[in-house]
């Protein structure tokens, strides 16, 4: 083979998409099949099979238990779990007069749940006749997350909404100097932080509480939940100028993937004056919490 022919071969090989790599990066085979809605270019909805066991509990009763769930992705929405009807306790379902309509999925028929002990109105829904272009959901049902008592992936309780397999959380120890300024006061200064990188979110800087102005802290009764980190507790911080409620949070018992941030505190970057890393001010990113949400 001449050098010229060999060069052509090498170039051709680099452009061939290798089947054994199709499940990596953004190149999931499923994504190749997605067709955008003709009436709304750029809007997509698609489902993926879940390999985890999922359970939903109301009161003391398990109302759905499956290893064959789908997770639905839709533009401008959080991911949603859908359960095969065969794995739902249909004897608990009561037809509701409520319906809702989505141009991307169709008309949703709603159901209440009655376990004999607990009644939950309009707790679930399904699309009996999905519109053209929608994922095939007619044999599946979903549940309103906050109306359920508990949700589990395998034997771990999860919170707030379905976990997104496309989202990643990395907790990395860092010796870079982190300074937090609030009302002109330095309220934290540490070289022992853990930087948390979460897909689609600003970097969060978790610091030992010993490296903060603990004398300004007061415990809060507020708690929040995160699907990827667990249950968080909060502190108020009072400077000479004012009291800032729930501006610091920490996870006393985070989920395994976020174990490195256990007990470390994080300041709400959107609500402090600034955060410096090695003397460089980190630009603030606009988030849903930029105007405060407590």
Q: Would you kindly state where each structural domain of the chain is located, as residue ranges?
A: 29-158, 169-281
Burial class (CB in 10 A: 0-12, 13-18, 19+), 249: buried
Within 66-192, residue ranges assigned H as helices are none
* Segment 188-226, tens digit of pLDDT: 999 999 999 998 889 999 999 999 999 999 999 999 999
Highest mean pLDDT among 43-47, 196-200, 273-277: 273-277
Give residue-wise pLDDT tens across range 219-241.
Answer: 999 999 999 999 999 999 999 99
Identical topology for domains 29-158 and 169-281: yes
Per-chain mean pLDDT for the chain: 89
Strand partners, 224: 232
Give the burial class of 144: count Cβ atoms within 10 A of its Cβ; 0-12 exposed, 13-18 middle, 19 or more buried. middle
What is the domain class of 29-158 according to CATH? mainly beta
CB atoms within 10 A of CB 86: 10
Q: Report DSSP state, residue 19.
A: G
Q: Using a cut of 0.85, tell me whether the model's pTM lies above it.
A: no
Question: CA 272: distance to chain centroid?
Answer: 24
The CATH homologous superfamily for domain 169-281 is Domain of unknown function (DUF427) (2.170.150.40)
Identify the H or E element spanning 197: strand 193-198
- Is it the case that residue 2 has pLDDT exceeding 60? no
Q: Report pLDDT digits (tens) over 61-83.
A: 999 999 999 999 998 888 999 99
Alpha-carbon gap, residue 95 to 274, rounded angstroms = 53
């Amino acid at each position: 083979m001449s050098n010229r022919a060999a060069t052509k071969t090498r170039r051709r090989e680099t452009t061939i998409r290798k089947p054994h790599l199709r499940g990596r990066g953004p190149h999931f085979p499923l994504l190749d099949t997605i067709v955008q809605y003709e009436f709304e270019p750029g809007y997509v909805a698609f489902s993926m099979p879940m390999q985890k066991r999922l359970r939903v509990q109301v009161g003391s009763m398990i109302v759905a238990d499956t290893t064959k769930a789908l997770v639905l992705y839709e533009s401008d929405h959080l991911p949603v779990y859908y359960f095969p009807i065969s794995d739902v306790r249909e004897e608990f379902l009561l037809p509701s007069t409520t319906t809702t309509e989505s141009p991307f999925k169709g008309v949703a028929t709603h159901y209440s749940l009655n376990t004999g002990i607990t009644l939950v109105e309009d707790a679930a829904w399904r699309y009996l006749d999905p519109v053209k272009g929608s994922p095939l959901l007619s044999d599946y049902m979903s549940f309103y997350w906050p109306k359920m008592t508990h949700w589990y992936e395998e034997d771990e309780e999860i919170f707030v909404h379905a976990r997104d397999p496309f989202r990643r959380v990395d907790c990395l120890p860092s010796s870079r100097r982190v300074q937090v300024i609030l009302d002109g006061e330095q309220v934290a200064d540490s070289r022992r932080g853990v930087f948390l990188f979460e897909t689609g979110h600003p970097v969060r800087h978790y610091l030992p509480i010993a490296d903060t102005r603990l004398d300004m802290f007061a415990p809060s009764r507020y708690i929040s939940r995160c699907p990827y980190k667990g249950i968080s507790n909060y502190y108020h911080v009072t400077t000479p100028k004012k009291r800032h409620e729930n501006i610091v949070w920490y996870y006393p018992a985070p989920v395994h993937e976020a174990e490195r941030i256990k007990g470390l505190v994080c300041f709400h970057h959107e609500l402090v004056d600034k955060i410096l890393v090695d003397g460089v001010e980190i630009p603030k990113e606009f988030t849903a919490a930029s105007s405060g949400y407590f």
